[in-house]
Amino acid sequence: MNKEIFAALEIADHEIRLIVCEFHNFKLNVLKVERVETDGVSNTTVVNEDAVISSIQKAVNNASKMLGADIKRVILLIPSYHMGRYSKRIIVNTNTGIIEKEDIQSALKTARFVDIPSDSEIVQMVPMRYIVNGYPSKRLPIEEKSDTLGVEVEILTADKEMVYQYVSLVEKAGIRVIDICLDSYALACEAALFGQAVGKYVLLLKLERQNTTLSLLANGKLINSTVVEGGYGEMLNALSESYDLPIDICNKLLLYNLEINPERQNTTPIYYWTVAGVPHTISEKEIADKAMPYLQRMVGKLKEISKDILSSEKIICVISGEGSEIQKINEYFSREFGIDCSVYTPETLGIRNGALAPLVGSVYAYYDQRGYSNQLLYSIDHADYLQDVEEEKPQPKKTNEEDTLSNRFKRIFAKN
């Protein structure tokens, strides 16, 4: 049986994120996580292709070394920049009177001929419902008897130039892209939000350093996504400039020591460092004093953009992304938005971080295609992987026959 190993990659606004995982008995096991810094991206715009390609190669090479086999293919996450959504109902005739995978594939191919803007590119085609003998169902109708098959398809698009550039960067790094997935759709998959978005609205926030993606889900579908410039990175910059600290240190201080509630802010130093022999300290209150004005401005901007949907009585908000790691940030959003806000963090071992949630969701989204796809492509060649594993297995030690455990017992009994 083939090892069902998949790798998913995201070109985030300040780093390359890569996860490698395996499905075993339909359960996802994470094998490796890589996060490599890059300064080649500004928001969703690539400003230095060489820097991005180098970081992709470093992430893939690091993971390949650990696995003992080359990662050759990845699922690529695409930012929901200029996202578009279109719905089509396609009806096809079955070849044999029995529904087969090829009939669903034929319907999806036909759905591709949708009229979309010239600056957009189709990223995903999701079968939402199947109509068999006049009855709609979400269940895959393989091997059911019917002369026709109806498929309701959701078509998701993104900015064409961005899509081609992102795919090109991965291929220039020597890696093949086997599928692409919108980050907002992938995040909703991982957080199981489509089921929650039935009978109510779900506002999904993917909070990153340079931007925030706002997505709206309703009726079990992704309705819209928009990328808003500005993220929690402004708070990082304020800390770094005020205290002359590296960004990675400021990131840890902010994510794990920002106390949002003024009544709980402690003045006791929580971090100590020296510069040219001179000691320096920083407290929770000092972190909050520098960061909170930027958080207030960011949340105010998101609130203004979302004011129409926030007025609905049936709405919840889910926060994820790297910025969701800020402790109790949902309390602040709940107070400002006036609705219930929660933080989503993956529960799978090895990826319990909001920044990695979309990557996991993209793997699930790709794996779900197995029901109507003839063959999914794995990220590692099965033969190469098995060969490397066999070569790395420790060889059994040759044991002298006179030294076996049974012979030792024989010698003991003989002496007695």
Q: Which of 291, 314, 317 is nearest to 302 (CA)?
A: 317
In the β-sheet with 4-11, what is the strand arrangement from edge to edge? 27-37, 15-24, 4-11, 73-78, 176-182
Number of other CB atoms surrounding residue 277 within 10 Å: 5
Q: What string of pLDDT tens digits covers the 416 residues of the chain?
A: 567 999 999 999 999 999 999 998 878 999 999 999 999 999 999 999 999 999 999 999 999 999 999 999 999 999 999 999 999 999 999 989 999 999 999 999 999 999 999 999 999 999 999 999 999 999 999 999 999 999 999 999 999 999 999 999 999 999 999 999 999 999 999 999 999 999 999 999 999 999 999 999 999 999 999 999 999 999 999 999 999 999 999 999 999 999 999 999 999 999 999 988 999 999 999 999 999 999 999 999 999 999 999 998 899 999 999 999 999 999 999 999 999 999 999 988 889 999 999 999 999 999 999 999 888 999 998 666 655 544 555 555 544 444 444 454 445 445 44
CB of 208 within 8 A of CB of 245? Answer: no
Query: Looking at the chain, which residues constitute the CATH 3.30.1490.110 domain(s)?
Result: 84-161
Cα 17 from Cα 77, distance rounded (Å): 10
305 CB contacts (<8 Å, ≥6 apart)?
214, 226, 228
Distances (CA, A) of 330 to 207, 350, 397: 12, 23, 57
Whole-prediction pTM = 0.89
Structure tokens at 405: 């455990």
Candidates 3.20.20.140, 3.40.50.2300, 3.50.50.60, 3.30.1490.110; correct CATH number of 84-161?
3.30.1490.110
Cα 86 from Cα 83, distance rounded (Å): 10
Q: Which of 345, 237, 380, 385 is nearest to 298 (CA)?
A: 237
Structure tokens at 199: 């009978």
Cα 138 from Cα 130, distance rounded (Å): 6
Give the fold, CATH level 3, of 192-343: Nucleotidyltransferase; domain 5 (3.30.420)
Query: Looking at the chain, which residues constitute the CATH 3.30.420.40 domain(s)?
Result: 192-343
